[in-house]
Amino acid sequence: MKLSRSVIYITFSLAMLNVFSCSKGSDPLPELSIQGVSQERKTTESTMKFRLTLSKPALNAVSVDYVLIDGTASSPADYMAASGTVSIPENQTQATIDVLINADPLNKRLPNLEFTVSLSNPKSCTIATSSAKGTIITEDGTYLVTDNSGYTTPLVYPGYSLVWSDEFSGTSLDASVWNQEIGNGSGGWGNNELEYYTNSPKNTFVSNGNLIIEARKETFDRFNYTSGRMTTQEKKLFKSGRIDIRAKLPVGKGIWPALWMLGANITSAGWPACGEIDIMELVGTAPSTVYGTLHWSTGGSHSSKGANYSLLTGDYSKQFHVFSIVWKQTGIAWYVDDQKFLEISAADVAADIYPFNSDQFFIFNVAVGGNWPGSPDNTTEFPERMFVDYIRVFQ
């Protein structure tokens, strides 16, 4: 039997309507994602905004429940706990969850703090990303306290006068005294060191009566570590006297803190002819031992002499110790906590030109890696910090 033309048209139209309806009904729901946020902690309250994004505009209003979950950051100490429902109106694709971050008036330097925003119970959407981290950046804070216990030395010695000191009692490094060197030098400062030295307060800062030099495991330029190296070159020069430096040292494989001096004529005479006085060096794999050394030139070749001093208990990271030299025209003696462990006379230095009766400048640094300490490994805990309470020069 033949169908009439009108029946065929109606049948075809109904078929097409059915196909359209099926296609529309199978259209997938928009996917909802949330992005993590990192933000520096401030000295006043601030708001951390988490962005919610739909993969496409929704035909209907979308909603999702959220809750904040403690991690290393906790509520109410670090942020204000919250939970609730967020809606995105139809034909829109974005919304935010605002989290109140508490102030830290002191701007304390701490490991970064984290919490989680968790999503659930979506309506008119699916969840592509169900959680995101909120990172409160506190590692760059400018206030850091450390235990001040340990050995100390006086401000007065018989026969001496205090001619210069830095007690690091302010809030910033004294630029009239200290230079901050930048870079990796030639071949890692001649030692194949692995750090990049910066002038950033992330690596060198003054807090709570101490100078702090901090070595970090972080990428900078082509290097995997940053640290600080500071000098008094062309600003504070000395020859002879008693020098006391009270410091607490970093330890760990690949860590190399040093308090030392170089001849002021290094740019013209070169090293080692300019002379080098290592007041203190420590290799991190021997945390209970420090070294004192002289370096000079004999017949155009490098010569050196030194010794070490080991603690009977503990290591140099536990308390402050005082590293001293008594520097005379006739020679130099080294001390740890007023215990002499090395003396080198001018007669012991068979140099072409004896360099240790000429001006020298100070260098403080924390190296990472190098020929002597080797490279860090997974046992090395970063950040590594050297604290210097004071440097005093008596003549």
Token pair 């739909």: residue: 54
Grouping H, G, I as helix, E, B as strand and the rest as coil, residue 253 is coil
Give the 3-state DSSP-derived string for 179-223, with helices as H, strands as E and coil as C.
Answer: EECCECCCCHHHHHCCEEECCCCCCEEEECCEEEEEEEEEEECCE
Which pair of tokens denotes residue 319? 């308390």
Token pair 């951390």: residue: 48
Residue 167 annotated in active site: no
Give the N- to C-terminal CA distance of the chain in Å, as an integer: 125
Q: Residue 20, CB half-sphere, CA atoms under 13 Å: how many?
A: 6
Residue 31 annotated in active site: no
Which pair of tokens denotes residue 123? 């309506």
Give me the numbers of helices (H) and strands (E) for the chain, helices first please. Answer: 2, 26
Grouping H, G, I as helix, E, B as strand and the rest as coil, residue 12 is helix
CA separation for the pair 82, 76 (Å, rounded): 10
Cβ neighbors of 187 (< 8 A, separation 6 or more) are none
Grouping H, G, I as helix, E, B as strand and the rest as coil, residue 5 is helix
CA separation for the pair 382, 376 (Å, rounded): 10
Strands 162-166 and 46-54: unpaired
Active-site entry in 276, 343, 381, 384: 276
Token pair 């729901």: residue: 29
CA separation for the pair 62, 93 (Å, rounded): 9
Grouping H, G, I as helix, E, B as strand and the rest as coil, residue 348 is helix
CA separation for the pair 368, 284 (Å, rounded): 10
CA separation for the pair 395, 393 (Å, rounded): 7
CA separation for the pair 217, 213 (Å, rounded): 14
Active-site entry in 181, 281, 343, 384: 281
DSSP string, 17-54: HHHHHHHHHTPPPPEEEE--EEEE--SS-EEEEEEEEE
Catalogue the active-site residues. 276, 281
